[in-house]
Structure 1
Amino acid sequence: MLLLGALRRPLAASAARLARERARARPQVYASLATGPRQDNGIFYEIRTYDVKPSKMKEFVEVINQHIHLRTAHSELVGFWTVELGAMNKAIHIWKYDNFAHRTAVRAAIANDKDWQGKLSLILTCVEKQHNEVAYLVPWCQLGKPPKEGGVYEWVTFQMKPGGPALWGEAFRAAINTHINTGYTKLIGVFHTEYGLLNRVHVIWWNESPDNRAAGRHKAHEDARVVAAVRESVRFLESQENMLLVPLHCSPLK
């Protein structure tokens, strides 16, 4: 019996080691697959996308420009754009909230604002479809502003592999920083979704003009620093979509 016990102990130890090795080999499941680290406050951004009826785009823009002040009396508008290239008859706007309680209070207030509700009914007759997302600025990015008015914005949406920033955050940040450091374009903000399609990142860039953006893009494609950083980041990329945006006259970012 003593011999049998002695044999069982090394067998048990081997089994334990094998279990530990298998556990290390399995992909790790993180508690925060969707979000990962973010800024140390409750501030978030609601990104609203409207598909506008083609025959109503002019009317939609006019109503927004004339009456959006009724809505901004309740909460902060970051930017309002129409899409020029990459999609058609689409508008994107971003609203800033201190926390979810703040958004709830704002939604209640605008529901009881008769002036705004009257204009909203006009806006909605122009809209075919609405979509919203809640996103946080990534913790290493502050919301920026363009150096001057009159440029164009590039909205780039990256669908990353599941796993969150714990998986792809470092490589993604390196790729963004390389573009910033080369000076080919101006970063406005990097947003990571919390509600909506997860593992999605929206990056907003500013350029003086579409031609300026095209020239910078060609330089970036020939820059070894950019190529190396992007090559590392795309290992975690599932898809990418680019749109060129034009700000409305009422947009704070313009």
Structure 2
Amino acid sequence: MIFDHRTYCVRPGTLPKQMALYKEHGYAAQCRNLGKPVLYATTDVGDVNSYVHVWAYRDAADRAEKRAAMQADPDWQSYLKKSAEAGYLVSQENKILVAAEFPD
């Protein structure tokens, strides 16, 4: 199993707006294509202008297939357009994590 760990930073003061935009226009399309996230969270300390989400996949091929389907989804494309127009996002960092053999 692999995990896609994504951290997004937004302009100060816009995190609630970004979360509302995603909840209304992006979440359903993303879950329809990727399944439910392992984690979707905002930060309480540290960089309070960021949020994190983690998605689980069987392997790299599963991730590629699901992400391709999502990119082809008109609802997801509509969300991406709305997000770009809003201009809240500043940066994004993605990591692919491989689960350790332990714990069971």
TM-score norm. by structure 2 comes to: 0.86
* 1:19-76 C-alpha deviation (Å, 9 max, x unpaired): xxxxxxxxxxxxxxxxxxxxxxxx1000000011113212101122223011011113
CA distances 1:182-218 after superposition (whole Å, capped 9, x unpaired): xxxxxxxxxxxxxxxxxxxxxxxxxxxxxxxxxxxxx
For 1:120 and 1:54, the matched residues in 2 are separated by: 20
* Residue 84 (structure 2) pairs with residue 126 (structure 1): no
Task: Please tell me the residue identity of whatever aligns with 1:62.
Answer: A
- The answer as to 2:32 corresponding to 1:73 is yes
Alignment pair present for 1:87 and 2:47: yes
Q: Hey, what's the Cα distance between the residues in 2 that align with 1:123 and 1:53?
A: 13
Give the CA deviation at 1:141: 2.5
Q: How far off is 1:97 after superposition?
A: 0.9
Amino acid of the structure 1 residue aligned with 2:92: Q
Q: How many residues align?
A: 100
Q: Quick one: which amino acid aligns to residue 34 of structure 2?
A: S
Asked whether 1:116 is paired with 2:76, we answer: yes
1:46 is the counterpart of 2:8: no
Shift of 1:79: 1.0
Name the TM-score, length of structure 1 as normaliser: 0.37
CA distance in 2, matches of 1:57, 1:115: 22
1:137 Cα deviation (Å)? 2.0
Q: Distance in 1 between matches of 2:60 and 2:99?
A: 15
Question: Are the aligned partners of 2:8 and 2:89 in contact in 1 as well (CA < 8 Å)?
Answer: yes
Stretches of structure 1 that go unaligned for 5 or more consecutive residues are 1-42, 143-254
Matches of 1:117 and 1:126 in 2, distance apart? 17
Give, as a single letter, the amino acid of the residue that structure 1 aligns with 2:90.
E
Q: Is the 2:3–2:57 Cα contact (8 Å) retained in structure 1? A: yes
Would the aligned equivalents of 2:70 and 2:76 in 1 still touch at CA under 8 Å?
A: yes
1:109 positional shift:
1.0
| Gapped regions of structure 2 (runs ≥ 5) | none
- SS of match in other structure, 2:14: helix
The aligned amino acid for 1:54 is P
TM-superposed deviation, 1:110: 1.3
Structure with greater Cα Rg: 1
The equivalences for 1:21-170 within 5 A come to: 43-67=1-25, 68-76=27-35, 77-124=37-84, 125-141=87-103
CA distance in 2 between partners of 1:93 and 1:123 (Å): 16
Q: What is the distance in 1 between the residues matched to 2:72 and 2:23?
A: 22
Tell me the distance in 2 between the aligned counterparts of 1:64 and 1:134: 22
Which aligned runs of 4 or more in structure 1 are off by greater than 6 angstroms? none
1:195-249 Cα deviation digits (max 9, x unpaired): xxxxxxxxxxxxxxxxxxxxxxxxxxxxxxxxxxxxxxxxxxxxxxxxxxxxxxx
Residues 98 and 138 of structure 1: is their aligned pair in 2 closer, same or farther, counting only changes over 3 Å?
Answer: same
